[in-house]
Structure 1
Amino acid sequence: MTLLLVVALVRLTWRAYRTHRLLLPLSTLAGTLFFAQVLVGAFQVGRDFPPFLLALHTATSVALLLSLGGLVVASWLLRPSPTDAPPPLDGQRARDFLTLTKPLVTALLLVTTYAGMVVGARAWPSLSLSFWTLLGGFLAAGGSSALNQYIDRDLDTHMQRTAKRPLAARRMTPAEGLAFGLALSVLSFYIFAFFVNPLAAFLSLAGTVYYVVIYSLWLKKATVQNIVIGGGAGAIPPLVGWAAATGRLDVPALFLFAIVFLWTPPHFWALALVRRKDYARAGVPMLPVVRGEAETRRQIFLYTLELVGLTLLMPLVKLAGSVFLISALVLGAWLLHAAWRVLRRDGNRVAWKMYRYSSMYLLFLFMALVIDALV
C-alpha cells in the first residue's frame, strides 16, 4: 500500500506540477529514496546487515523523512496551482530524456569503466558484476549530464551546438530536467552500494559531485583552466571500474586516470577552436576565447605530447605489455600527427578532425588495454 501511495504521489507531481522546481524534484527524490529503501530491505532478507549497508539504511531513512517533510512544508507554504498535464511519452519526449544522458559521451565513459574492470582483475569480470557496474555507470554519467544541462540551460541557448537540447529548446521544463538528473544520480549510488561495493559507490558519487558542482557550477564560467581542472571528473570512471573489480585502488589505476585527464584538454580545446564564437557569445572563458587560437593550438600539441609520453611510459614500468605498447605507438603517432596539423595550420577543418580523432584514440587505446590484460 505504501509503495502504491508513493508511486501515486510521484505520478501526480509529474503530471500536475511539472513546472515547479521544488515540488517535482522533492517528490521524485522521495520516490527514489523510498525505492532504494525497499531495495535495501529486499537485499538483506534472511541476512545480517553489514556495517556499511546498516549505516546506509539509516541514512536513507533520514533522507527520506527529510524529503517528505520538505515536500509537505513546500506544499503548505507555496500552495502551488496545478499546471497543464505534460505531453504523452511519445517518441520525441522519450528521445529528449535519452538526450539528457548524452548517450555517446556516456558510452565512451562506460568503455573506460569496463576497461578498468578488466585491467584491474586481469580477467573478464563476471556477467552480474559487469551488468551492475555498467548500469550504475550509465545512471551516474546520465544523471550528471542531465544536471549539467539543467545548470547550463540558459547558457546553451547562446550556442549553436547546444541550442536544440531539450531544456535549452524548452521542450522540457527545468524542474523535469532537475528531477530526472537527481533520480538517476541517486539510483546509481545505491546500485553501486548494493550490487558492487562501497568504494565504487563513493568514487562514482565523487565523479558526479566533481562534474556537477566543481565543474558545471563553478569552474566552467570562472577560469580559463576549466577544462584542465574539470577533466578530473571524466577521468574517474576507470577508477570506478577498477574498484568494482578489485575492491581497492592500485597504482596502475592512477595511470588510467591520468590518461583520461591528459586526453581531455586537447580533445575539448579542439572543439573550442571550432566553436570559439559560440563560447564567446555564451561568456564561457575557453582557452581560444581568452588566450587566442595560436596559444590554444600550442597547448593542444603540448598536452598531446604529454599524453602519448605517458602511454609509452606504462610498458616501460611494467604496467602494460607488448600489445599495449604497439597500440600506443600506432595510435599515438596518429594523434600526434593530428595535433601537429592543428599546430601548423589555421582553420576549423584540422581542429574538427583532431576532435573526432581524439575520441577514436581514447576508445581504441582502452580497447588495447583490455586485450593486453587478457593475453
Structure 2
Amino acid sequence: MDTLGLDTAGPTWRAKVGAYVALTKPRIIELLLITTIPALFAAQRSVPSFGLIVATMVGGTLAAGSANALNCVVDADIDAKMRRTRSRPLARHAVSTRAALVFGIVLGIVATAVLGVFTTWAAAGLAVTAILFYVFVYSMLLKRRTSQNIVWGGLAGCMPVVIGWSAVTGDIGWPAWVFFGVIFFWTPPHTWALAMRYREDYAAAGVPMLPVVQTERVVVRQIVLYSWAMVACSLLLIPASSWIYAAVAVPAGLWFLALAHLLHVRVLRGEAAKPMTLFHISNLYLTLVSVAWAVDSVVGLPALGWPW
C-alpha cells in the first residue's frame, strides 16, 4: 500500500461519489432538463436571464435527483432482480439504504430552497409536488399494482415543463399545459417500447408493465394510439408559434407516427418487433420538439397573435 494511502483512498472516494451520482439517474435528469429549459424561453418569450436559467437548472436537477434517489430506495429489491438495473448502487450495496434515503431527502430540501429563493415559490412548490408524487404515488402505489403505472405515474415526468414556466411567471400558462400534455402522451410509447425489450426482466421482478400482462398486439396498438394523441397535442402549439416550430413539430410527428405504425405492422405480421428503435427515436423526438419550441420563442413571432 502507498505510504500516503493515496492509491487506496483515491479510487474508493471516487467510487463512493460515483455511486451517489448514479442514485440520481443522470441520464433521466438530462431528459427532464430538455423540457424545462424551453419552458423558460417560452414563458419569457425571449432569452431569460443567465441567473434564472442557472437557478432553475440547478434546482430542477436537484429535485429530479431527489426523486430518483428516493425511487432507488423504494425499488432496491426490484432493481436487484433486473439485468438492466442490477448495477444500480443500492442493488449492488455500494450505498446503504439509510444513506440513500438521507441523500434523497437532503437533495429535495436544497432543491426547494434554490427554486424558492432564486426563482419563484410556485416553482418550488411544484417541484416538491413532483417529488412526492413520483415517490409515493408512482413508486410506492402504482408501479407494482397496475399495468397503467407509467400512464399516471408519468405525470411526475411532465412536471419540469410547468416548473420551468412558473419559475419565470409564478403561474402556469396554457402553452405549458399543452406541452405538459405532449410529455404525458409521449411517456407510454417511450416506456412501453423499452418494457417490450426487457419484458422478462419486469416479469421476474413482479412489475406488471403492460408488455408483461398483455400480448404484443395489445401493447403496440396502445403505443399507436398514444403516439397519435402526442402528435395531435404537439400541434396545438402551432397557433401560438411561428413557422419555426411547425417546421419541426410536423415532420418529427409524422416520423414518430411512421415508426409507431411500423412497429404495429411488424407485430401483426409476426416479425421481430425491434421496439428499441422507437425507444431511441422517442428521445430524439422530444429533444427536437423541445428545442424548436425554445428557438421559436426567441426568434419566431406568434402566427396568430394569441395571448400568452
TM-score by length of 1: 0.75
AA aligned opposite 1:225: Q
The residue identity in structure 2 corresponding to 1:261 is F
Residue among 87, 95, 101 paired with 1:178 = 101
Q: Residue 295 in 1 paired to residue 221 in 2?
A: no
Counterpart AA for 1:338: L
State how many pairs are aligned. Answer: 288
Moved over 4 A (4+): 86-89
Is the Cα contact below 8 Å between 2:245 and 2:296 reproduced in 1? yes
Contact between 1:106 and 1:141, CA under 8 Å: does it hold in 2?
A: yes
Alignment-derived partner of residue 90 in structure 1 = 13
Displacement after TM superposition at 1:179 (Å) = 1.0
Q: Distance in 2 between matches of 1:335 and 1:292?
A: 22
Q: Distance between the aligned counterparts of 1:350 and 1:281, measured in 2?
A: 21
- Correspondences of 1:193-342 after superposition (within 5 Å): 193-315=116-238, 318-342=239-263
Counterpart contact for 1:270–1:354, Cα < 8 Å: yes
Q: 1:360 — aligned with what?
A: 284
Unaligned runs of 5+ in 2: 1-8, 300-308
Matches of 2:168 and 2:71, distance apart in 1? 29
SS in 2 for 1:334: helix
User: Which amino acid counterpart does residue 298 of structure 2 have in structure 1?
Assistant: L
Distance in 2 separating the partners of 1:89 and 1:246:
45
Q: Structure 1 vs Structure 2: percent identity of aligned residues? A: 38
Match of 2:42 in 1: 119
Deviation at 1:196?
Answer: 1.0
Quote how far apart the aligned CAs of 1:265 are.
0.5
- Which structure is higher in RCO with an 8 Å CA cutoff and minimum separation 6? 2
> Given residue 152 of structure 2, which amino acid in structure 1 is its aligned partner?
I
In 2, Cα distance between the equivalents of 1:284 and 1:259? 26
Q: Is the 8 A contact 2:165 2:176 kept in 1?
A: yes
Q: Distance in 1 between matches of 2:202 and 2:31?
A: 24
Counterpart CA distance in 2 for 1:306 and 1:138 is 28
Secondary structure of 1:90's partner? helix
Q: Which has the larger radius of gyration?
A: 1
Of 175, 182, 191 in structure 1, the residue corresponding to residue 114 of structure 2 is 191
- My pick for the range that moved more, 361-370 or 320-329, is 320-329
Partner Cα distance (1:190, 1:88) in 2: 33
Whether the 8 Å contact between 1:274 and 1:348 is mirrored in structure 2 is no
Provide structure 1 residue ranges, at least 5 long, that are not aligned to the other structure. 1-85
Alpha carbons of 1:341 and 1:225: their partners in 2 closer, same or farther (altered >3 Å)? same
CA drift of 1:374 comes to 1.0
Cross-structure match for 2:33: 110
Is residue 343 from structure 1 mapped to residue 246 from structure 2 by the alignment?
no
| Equivalent in the alignment of 2:5 | none
Distance 2:149 2:91 in 1: 22
Letter matched to residue 222 of structure 2: Q
Contact 2:179 2:234 in 1 (8 A): no
Tell me, in whole angstroms, the C-alpha distance in 2 between the residues paired with 1:308 and 1:195.
34
Structure 2: distance between partners of 1:282 and 1:269: 16
> For the structure 1 residues 117 and 348, does the alpha-carbon distance in structure 2 shift closer, same or farther, using more than 3 Å as the test?
farther
Equivalent residue runs for 1:18-33 within 5 Å: none
| Rounded Cα–Cα distance in structure 1 between residues aligned with 2:248 and 2:147 | 33
Q: Take 1:87 and 1:271, find their aligned partners in 2: how far apart are those partners?
A: 37
Q: Structure 1 residues 348 and 109 mapped into 2: Cα distance closer, same or farther (>3 Å)?
A: farther
- Deviation per residue, 1:116-135 (Å, 9 max, x gap): 11001101110111111110
Question: Structure 1, residues 268-319: CA drift from partner, whole Å, max 9, x if none?
Answer: 000010011111111111001112211001111111111111112321xx22
Could you tell me how far 1:88 is from its partner in structure 2? 7.5
Deviation at 1:364, TM superposition (A): 1.1
Deviations, residues 154-191 of structure 1 (Å, cap 9, x unaligned) = 11111110011010111111111111111101110111
Aligned Cα root-mean-square deviation (Å): 1.5
Return the TM-score normalized by structure 2.
0.90
What does residue 149 of structure 1 align with? 72
Cα deviation digits, residues 341-367 of structure 1 (max 9, x gap): 211114666200111100111011100
Kept in 2: contact 1:338–1:350 (CA 8 A): no
Contact kept in structure 2, 1:143 and 1:182, CA below 8 Å:
yes
State the AA in 2 paired with 1:260.
I
**CA–CA distance in structure 2, aligned partners of residues 266 and 352 of structure 1:** 11
Counterpart for residue 372 of structure 1: 296
Measured after TM superposition, the shift of residue 87 of structure 1 is: 9.9
Once residues 209 and 241 of structure 2 are traced to their aligned partners in structure 1, the CA distance between those partners, rounded to angstroms, is 35
